[in-house]
Chain A
Amino acid sequence: MSRIAVSIVMEAAPFLFLGSMLSAAVDRYVDAGRIARRIPSGPFGRLAVGLLGGMAMPICECGSVPLARRLLEKGVPPLTAITYMLAAPVINPIVLLSTYVAFGGNLRMVFARAIVVAVSAALTGWLCGRGAYGPQRANPGLMAAPPHGDQAHIHAPHHVSAQARAKSLVPDLLSSGAAEFLDMGKYLILGALASAAFKVFLPWQLVQALAGSAFLSISVMMLLAVLLCVCSEADAFVAASFVYVPPAAQLGFITLGAMVDLKLMGMYFAVFPKRTAWVLVVVPTVCVFGLSWLLGFLIEAG
């Protein structure tokens, strides 16, 4: 069990670190308001930016949460930031290619995965933008505070030379990134522990037996996606190995896990107001169930 937990942390840590560094960079060097002004004012434009952002700047689900919370802090509309956070781990060339390979070149599965995630992310982002997000700020108590002396760095007095400021730029950024990583890492570790425990103690024979029913199999595979915390780059290979379940259930597995799993749930409830966190958990789950059921059987029929 310890090896499973450690392997999950080791797999996710580079991506979480990348997300933390990007988040720290956005916090320090992106002017609040400037980025928001560049985003279209209409809902479709905002949605498109969120979805296309995922294609242009792919990031694993662990890294997308700290980045999204910082974008929200900088005034990026929830419709864009939340949509990006949920869609980026799946709607990117790497993950779609891995899906294509895992399912033996089944393009219907690739398109279905992209559609289910895009629709779920868009609906969740739209609901968060409609008010479920509450105050337009993430949980300020959990924001990584800048290192000591940081304020002096940001609002540098005139006697601090440009050279001295440039010199402390990288260490400051790294220190902020480490603080951000520590904040989010806690939830990664807890999620990894819980996932490892489930993986070891889950009655797999019961799971296999339940998966025999077409309707139950979607629920079972979605539950597994939440419990196992498999990375979005690898989950298609795992799903494809579940040969006894219908494509609808495999689709449910590869779409929900990148948006809702144990480690992500911990992060959501830490970073966002409780109401938003519930929206982030419930809406994708309901969407994935309905759309997987619909598209999965279309895949099978095709």
Chain B
Amino acid sequence: MKRFLLTLDGAFVLGLGLYMLVLSQTEAYAAFMNPRFRPLTAAGGVGLCLAAVAFLIRPGGAIDVRRTLCFAILGMLALHAGGGSLKGASGFAVKPPPAARVEPDPHVVRDGVRYLKSNPARLFLSLQAGQAAPPDQRYITRGVVKRSAQLDRLGKFALLRGNMVCCLADAIAMGMMVAPGGSPGLQGGEWVEILGRIQPLETPIAITDLGATDQAPFAVVYNQAVFLAESIETIEPPRFAYVFELPTSGKRPLQLSGGDEDY
């Protein structure tokens, strides 16, 4: 019995190592962790595999049924979590080589007007870092609509995008309050593409009733500016629900770190 349980323990560690190693090489990784940590997860996976093989050959220590049970539960959770909620059939497709990626243009021209691509989380972080948006700067941004009683009273809605720093545990949906102009009412949970500009508010508005979105259980909007929408278009949800934004100094030119879909 002891040998059996220790073998099972070793097999679970091996399974965890293999899961980390395989997941780190797939696009589905972005539904669990920030892709910049792929090498760390892969290295951890390799280490765990080696340690598990050594443990299976020379098992040691006391048995602990609760420990075995915990790892069994983790195995079931991993099976349930699978490839995350990525859209498209290639949840576990190996990511393309860096050479195949083309640096996307950070601007889009619509009706002769240049719009800077920026996702709602990046707008939030840059404004929060004190990088004031130039009054004549036009933006194109995509996100999920979130409505709340407070925002409804103000005639606005929140445009959000789930932002992950390390892993899903720290994901927060962040974005902007949007003044929709003459656009028809939108439903919460709808994905939209909005063109417009940012207008600072004279008095900050604290929105404290946003609650959760599908991407993150906590949502926050920048409270000292509003996004004035010139046009709003409903779109299909993007393939990658999350973005991986960090505050920037604003001194470097904008790069779309997550490819063409991260705005």
Contact = CB atoms under 8 A, between A and B. Distances in A.
Nearest to B67: A186
Contacts of A5: 74, 77, 81
Contacts of A2: 77-78, 80-81
A178 B54 contact: yes
B226 to A, nearest CB: 15
Contacts of A202: 217
B130 interface: yes
Contacts of B43: 14
Contacts of A11: 33, 37, 166-167, 169
B20 interface: yes
A8 interface: yes
A80 interface: no
Given A174-B50, A186-B66, A204-B217, A237 B32 contact: no
A6 interface: yes
Contacts of B249: 105
Given A10-B20, A181-B13, A190-B70, A205 B208 contact: yes
B16 A231 contact: no
Given A7-B169, A233-B166, A182 B67 contact: yes
B57 interface: yes
Contact of A172 (B48, B58, B71, B128): B58
A17 B169 contact: no
A214 to B, nearest CB: 14
B164 to A, nearest CB: 9
A230 to B, nearest CB: 5
B195 interface: no
Given A146-B60, A178-B10, A181-B51, A189 B74 contact: yes
Interface in A50-75: none
A238 B172 contact: yes
Contacts of A205: 208-211
A238 B206 contact: no
A8 B174 CA distance: 21
A178 B13 contact: yes
B51 A174 contact: yes
Nearest to A174: B54
A177 interface: yes
B6 to A, nearest CB: 9
Interface residues of B, number: 69
A183 B61 contact: yes
Nearest to B166: A234
Contacts of B210: 204-205, 208
A256 interface: no
B235 interface: no
Contacts of B85: 3
A172 to B, nearest CB: 7
Given A10-B33, A229-B169, A148 B73 contact: no
Interface string A163-202: 0000000111011111101110110011001011001101
Contact of B55 (A170, A178, A229, A241): A178
Nearest to B55: A178
Contacts of B258: none
A286 interface: no
Contact of A243 (B32, B40, B168, B223): B223
Nearest to B62: A145
Interface in B44-99: 44, 47-48, 50-55, 57-62, 64, 66-67, 70-71, 73-74, 77-78, 80-81, 84-85
Nearest to B206: A244
A7 B55 CA distance: 25
Contacts of A6: 32, 74, 77-78, 81
A178 B51 contact: yes
B115 interface: no
Contacts of A230: 166, 169-170
B23 interface: yes
Contact of B71 (A182, A200, A231): A182
Nearest to B131: A104
A177 B60 CA distance: 10
B209 to A, nearest CB: 5
6 contacts: A101-B246, A144-B61, A146-B60, A193-B73, A205-B211, A241-B163
Interface of B: 9-10, 13, 16, 20, 23, 31-33, 37, 40-41, 43-44, 47-48, 50-55, 57-62, 64, 66-67, 70-71, 73-74, 77-78, 80-81, 84-85, 124, 128-130, 163, 165-170, 172, 174, 206, 208-212, 217-220, 222-223, 246-247, 249
Given A141-B62, A237-B165, A238-B170, 8 more contacts: A3-B81, A6-B32, A172-B54, A174-B50, A174-B54, A175-B54, A189-B71, A244-B208
Interface of A: 2-11, 13-14, 17-18, 21, 101-102, 104-105, 141, 144-150, 170-172, 174-179, 181-183, 185-186, 189-190, 193, 195-196, 199-200, 202, 204-205, 208-209, 211-212, 228-231, 233-235, 237-238, 240-244
